[in-house]
Structure 1
């Protein structure tokens, strides 16, 4: 019983640190986030912080992992919905991911530059492998269902599932190249839209899905990513 209480307290403290880190990244950015500020906000000692995370990069890695767990809870009901067809599941799956990123836009933008920096290449690769292990079985399940229903035609559902993850990985690099540029602006909208359209087209061809069956973000939503968080679209 005591052990259970201690484990709950440990998890609560760890989540409190991660929550404070996410708020700091969203408001100040990763580079400006100081461990001393987190310690002060939570009224804990530096020793207590380092008991949970041995470095600032380790904190970022844990935060991204927690986000992955949150996304898992978001998409699993879609994957395992017994009433939905495969195309409907895939559409809802990709839409849910897009909505999550849009809802957490400030955090994504604030951490984008450091996340795609050379110093995080090892962590980024580890999490890519983790995403492959986590997402591939779900995608394969939906793809196989689509093949059985006759709406998808790929003869390689297992490899196609892995390639979907790889395609999104490349999409992340391509969009980061635009959003991390010092001079990016709303004028980059056509280029960003073309990248998204190419990704959707590639997904449809990879899966053998009907043209136009993979949802794409509206241009008005894409514009949000090109406008600084402190600036509204009306100011553009």
Structure 2
């Protein structure tokens, strides 16, 4: 049999794809390194050439998600044709559409990284997300100051505070999601959480009430509908 030689990037992508499939079909806890190896059809040595553990594959998967997110956002925050408020609205809408478009994957990922054995990975992942988002928000705040729709003395500091607020919002929803069998049961509570969080952000940056939507009703119902 002819041996198929693939680039390190291709082989890495195959293991991440295998993890994506197996973690959902068998569950993360029930998937072993051998399962990943058999799914890809390579030797154990080939696996350990790229990863040192199952958790390392999960970390690579999370990094790939961030890469996808950056590509999806593209040059939005640098678009000179858009106002600051338009950039905020499109940034949040694209983010929400991206998550809703792969709802099952996102819900599964949330459950996996919140397992006790993966809490350090979750911490590292959230730090990377926070730095990425703070950079986007800071650019929008600086432009908003110039357009006089925001009143933010320190965009760098305020952007980090915004991320902290949104992370708290996300963490509260995560705890609820992990405790329920049906995400649809959470819709009413989520609506209140969204309103309160949006109001807090608008006051934080001195924006007009209602000018910084977090998520529209259509996407909110799509996310929290069974």
TM range, smaller chain: 0.7 to 0.9
Q: 2:119 aligns with which of 121, 126, 141?
A: 121
In structure 2, relative to structure 1, the CA distance for the partners of 1:102 and 1:25 (3 Å cut) is: farther
Q: 1:107 to 1:46 in 2, by over 3 A?
A: same
Aligned 1:142-221 pairs, distance under 5 A: 142-219=140-217, 221=219
How many angstroms apart in 1 are the aligned matches of 2:9 and 2:202?
Answer: 41
Q: Which residue of 1 aligns with 2:84?
A: 86
**Structure 1 partner of 2:137:** 139
Question: Are the aligned partners of 2:92 and 2:215 in contact in 1 as well (CA < 8 Å)?
Answer: no
- Match of 1:54, SS state, is coil
Query: Alpha carbons of 1:224 and 1:46: their partners in 2 closer, same or farther (altered >3 Å)?
Result: farther
> Compared with structure 1, are the counterparts of its residues 188 and 130 closer, same or farther at alpha carbon in structure 2 (3 Å cutoff)?
closer
Shift of 1:26: 4.3
Corresponding residue number in structure 2 for 1:74: 72
Counterparts of 1:144 and 1:215, CA distance in 2: 18
CA RMSD of aligned residues (A): 2.3
CA shift in 2, pair 1:218/1:180, >3 Å = same
- Deviations 1:123-168 (CA, angstroms, capped at 9, x unpaired): 2222222233333222211110010011111222111111122122
User: Which residue of structure 1 aligns with residue 94 of structure 2?
Assistant: 96
Greater shift after overlay, 84-93 or 113-122? Answer: 113-122
Rounded to whole Å, the distance in 2 between the matches of 1:107 and 1:28 is 14
Residues 174-197 of structure 1 deviation map (CA, whole Å, 9 limit, x = unaligned): 111111014445332211221222
Shift of 1:33: 3.4
Partner of 1:110: 108
Q: In the comparison of the two structures, how many residue pairs are matched? A: 222
Tell me the residue number matched to 2:42: 44
Q: What residue ranges of structure 2 are gaps of 5+ in the alignment?
A: none
Paired with 1:28 and 1:105, the residues of 2 have a C-alpha distance of 18
Tell me the TM-score normalised to structure 1 length.
Answer: 0.84
Question: Does the 8 Å CA contact 2:144/2:150 hold for their aligned counterparts?
Answer: yes
Q: CA, structure 1 residues 48+77, in 2 after alignment: closer, same or farther (shift >3 Å)?
A: same
Distance (whole Å) between structure 2 residues aligned to residue 144 and residue 84 of structure 1: 13
Structure 1 gap segments, 5+ residues each: 1-5, 229-236
1:200-233 per-residue CA deviation (whole Å, 9 max, x = no partner) reads 22222222222112224345544444555xxxxx
Partner of residue 231, structure 1: none
